[in-house]
Amino acid sequence: MPNAYLKMSSPVGQLTLVASETALKAVLWENEKPGRVPIELGPEKPDHPVLKAAAKQLNAYFKGEITTFDLPLDPVGSAFQLEVWRTLATIPYGQTLSYGELALRVGRPKAARAVGAANGKNPLSIVLPCHRVIGANGQLTGFANGLEAKSKLLALENPNK
């Protein structure tokens, strides 16, 4: 069965949610760079249960009503990418981590650049919070939808900063 998709509006632009029959596979940006997330879109299915649940949870996240997601996920990537993406889910809401710290958490302390590359290919943006990863100096660095969107997401999670 081909992947289904659903488009939704958000404070950081239009998102395209992509799911298999049983799990969310991607959250893609409005101005998605071709090839960043190699995934085929099937038909648009606004009534797809996984897509409906993902849209509902993302809307609740943007309203500040939830801080974590409870969705079946099925990202496609290398073993290393999958490990990095799983580790993203452990970064608490409202907190940030440097690429070096993320590399330590995945057991590859000298692999900050590789972690950064894996982070950049994260197919489940927002749900697996790659926006919470920042430069060692505390500055915002690279983000698939641009630094303005990254800044908005971090501000949404930490409005007092």
Report the run of H or E that residue 118 belongs to, with start and end.
helix 112-120
Q: Give CA–CA dist 44/91, Å, rounded.
A: 32
Active-site residue, from 84, 97, 124, 130: 130
Amino acid at 139: Q
Overall size of the chain counted in residues: 161
* Residue owning tokens 């996984």: 50
Amino acid at 103: A
The Cβ of residue 108 has, within 10 Å, a number of other Cβ atoms equal to 15
Told to judge if 130 belongs to the known catalytic residues of this protein, a careful annotator would answer yes
Q: Give CA–CA dist 118/130, Å, rounded.
A: 10
List active site positions: 130
